[in-house]
Structure 1
Amino acid sequence: MLNPHWLRSFTALVEQRSFTRAARHVGLTQAAVSQHIRYLEEQFGALLIRRVRSLELTPAGAALLDYCNEIDEADKRLRSKVSDAEADKGVVSLITPESVGLALYPLLLTLQQEHRGLIVCHRFATDSDVLDAVLRKQYELGVVSFEPDDARLASEPLADEPLELVVPAGIDVQNWSDLERLGFIDHPDGVAMAPRLLAQRFPGNPGVRTVPQRGFHSEIALVLEPVARGLGFTVLPRHARQAFARADAIRIVDCGTPVVETLRLIHRAEWPLTARASWVVSQLRKRPPFTRGSVVVGSG
């Protein structure tokens, strides 16, 4: 790597167009600046054409100036990433399950509108993929539906998200056999979510795996389409149901006391969150549905 002092002398000389002014600019003697330019020219050949009262860059000099500018821009990007001075500017990266993401992403976009220097990178993923992405430092923040037991991860409660049993409109569900006739529309977290809610509504049931599977979709926002067409039932978080446009085509089965998942915000435990991430989290906590003590969505 080139000596940064040599490069500083070179860029000062290009800007000031004078060895005397360049030396004054960098706080060195004129002889020192001349020596730095000589060291660079020994490696790259002539960098400057010296004329009376002016300097002209050679092609090698222009290439070296581009290199110096690239280093300067990289330095600025680095300082921006680690600086706490402007918490509402720069990139914040977040990976979440799709359901809570459907509630989070509009809020993140609103923050971007209010703070144009903020850049949001958000991805939907399953709980296991969220853990992996945060551990690999691909995303700074993640949201999962359980408390991780990995010492490399710090976690804190974010909100509670109720689960719902959703059937086609007009279908009356009284017994487990009604669900068996309908069949199950699965999604990536479906088999994990369903037992907790179904055990409350149908105690002693033989388990959702005994119910015929009528379909599967990896996008939770689309799972309700086959339900709306009468092809089966599903269990999913309330916000995914509320995001479905055809509300009149589905029905929520009353399962008594709500069964909720406590969503937890996670990040690497070995170092503190960046100022940007901390600021974004604080802003989200001021806005429904993530204010303290709230569930992810309302009951409507």
Structure 2
Amino acid sequence: MDPHLLRTYVTVARLASFSEAARELGYTQSAVSQHIAALEQDLGAALLTRRPVRPTAAGERLLEHAGPLLLRLDAARADVLRMASAPEHGLTLAVTPTALGPRTVAALPAAGVTLRALARADIPAAVATGAADLGLVDGLAAPSDPLRLPDVAPLTTCGVAEEPVCVLLPAAHPLARRPGLRLADLVDARWLDAPGAGLPLDRLHTAGGAGGVRTALRYEGTDLRTLTTLAAAGRGLTVLPRSFTTDVPGAVAVPLVAPRLVHRTELIHGGALRGPAAALAHELTEQHRE
């Protein structure tokens, strides 16, 4: 299967238009039509209806395979280029907001760093394809357990930080004076679902058993201050790393003591590291050993 034809098909299916796909890819519309016809002939199946432009059942199945296949190809290209090219002076680091704890920030080079805030699920792909030199992804885990990351390419991961987590409550909340909280204490609570700014709730939902956790409000931004302001205003509870819960006006942070969960941060990279990426990786891993 020709990957060029596959990319054309994915683009046409995404845009639902041969002409729009031709414009995005820099081809003529005739060339796009020829690509689709050649791919259909190769597979022996119709992949798209023409009016409207929509994937057939076989086309939908191909789309399920196409993303991982094309990502692997992009990752292979990026990996080879990393080995063949000289190390750059700059450093692009893909991060989630809560992965940038105080010690991590202190380890960053004084200049030449670009921080790219991405969704957790997108960081491995960004590193694999060369869009970022390194990735820092975080989440809730049992102590010393690795995070569950998507398998997008041969990548190296290592833990660089672990710290306790706290439940952020309004100062007037009945449980705000507790020395510690169990998830069972919060069975009737409503939570803030903020996958871009806070920690994902799926791990809490699993740990909560049959009751799970119930969402009061979903925040789709990446600003931590907005998230903590919502929690302080009583719009829902949130769990954050302990270092992110100090000095939040109108809110109290109470340690989550059961189940035993920590905020874990992992460094992701592909291939051998050189230059600023190698220096930062060394600094972060050495900090974690201390």
What is residue 43 of structure 2 aligned with on the other side?
none
The question of whether the paired residues in 1 share the 8 Å contact of 2:160 and 2:266 is answered with yes
Distance 2:221 2:262 in 1: 22
Q: Residue in 2 aligned with 1:194? A: 201
| Residue aligning to 1:129 | 122
Q: Deviations over 1:158-186 (max 9, x none)?
A: 12243332221131348989746652111
Letter in 2 for 1:277: A
The answer as to whether partners of 1:164 and 1:197 remain within 8 angstroms in 2 is: no
- Provide the identity percentage: 23
For 1:180 and 1:147, how far apart are their aligned partners in 2? 25
Query: Counterpart in 2 of 1:226?
Result: 230
| CA spacing shift, 1:195–1:140, aligned 2, 3 Å | closer
Rounded to whole Å, the distance in 2 between the matches of 1:212 and 1:257 is 19
Structure 2 segments unaligned to the other structure (5+ residues): 1-84, 139-146, 176-180
Residues of 2 paired with 1:190 and 1:246: CA distance?
A: 15
Q: d(CA) in 2 for partners of 1:133 and 1:220? A: 21
2:195 partner SS: coil
User: What is the aligned partner in structure 1 of residue 158 from structure 2?
Assistant: 156
Give the counterpart letter for 2:211 in structure 1. P
* Aligned 8 A contact 1:141 1:267 in 2: yes
Which residue matches 1:214? 217
SS at match of 1:219: coil
Q: What is the rounded CA distance, in whole Å, between the counterparts of 1:168 and 1:129 in structure 2?
A: 32
Contact 2:191-2:238 within 8 A present in 1 as well: yes
Aligned partner of 1:184 in structure 2 is 191
Q: What is the deviation of 1:228? A: 0.8
Secondary structure in 2 matching 1:291 = helix
Partners of 1:147 and 1:155 within 8 A in 2? no
Counterparts in 2 of 1:124 and 1:188: CA distance versus 1, 3 Å: same
Residue by residue over 1:132-169, the C-alpha shift from the partner in whole angstroms, topping out at 9 and shown as x without a partner, is 21122011100223254344212222122433322211
One-letter amino acid of the structure 1 residue matched with residue 171 of structure 2: A
Residues 92, 133 of structure 2: 8 Å contact kept: yes
Whether contact under 8 Å (2:192, 2:215) holds in the other structure is no
Separation (CA, whole Å) in 2 of partners of 1:122 and 1:217: 19
TM-score, normalised to structure 2's length? 0.54
- Identify the residue that residue 103 of structure 1 maps to in structure 2: 102
The 3 A distance-change label for structure 1 pair 119 and 157 is same
What TM-score do the two structures reach when normalised by structure 1? 0.53
Q: How many residues align?
A: 191
In the TM superposition, what are the counterparts of 1:46-57 in structure 2 within 5 Å? none
Per-residue deviation, residues 12-50 of structure 1 (Å, max 9, x unmatched): xxxxxxxxxxxxxxxxxxxxxxxxxxxxxxxxxxxxxxx
* 2:183–2:256 Cα contact (<8 Å) kept: no
SS at match of 1:82: coil
Alpha carbons of 1:150 and 1:217: their partners in 2 closer, same or farther (altered >3 Å)? closer
Give 3-state SS (helix, strand or coil) of 1:90's partner: coil
Give the letter for the 1:206 counterpart.
G
Whole-Å separation in 2 of the counterparts to 1:284 and 1:177: 35
The answer to whether residue 273 in structure 2 is matched with residue 273 in structure 1 is: yes
Note the alpha carbon deviations across 1:199-244, whole angstroms, 9 max, x for none.
Answer: 66xx645111xx24234242251211111112221123333324xx
Change (3 A) 1:247 1:284: farther
Counterpart mapping for 1:165-176 below 5 A:
165-173=167-175
Q: CA 1:218–1:239 in 2, change beyond 3 Å: closer, same or farther?
A: farther
User: In 2 relative to 1, CA 189–251 (structure 1 residues): closer, same or farther, beyond 3 Å?
Assistant: same
* Conservation of the 8 A alpha-carbon contact between 1:187 and 1:220: no
Larger radius of gyration: 1
User: CA distance change for structure 1 residues 164 and 206 in 2, over 3 Å: closer, same or farther?
Assistant: same
Where 1:107 maps in the other structure, the secondary structure is helix
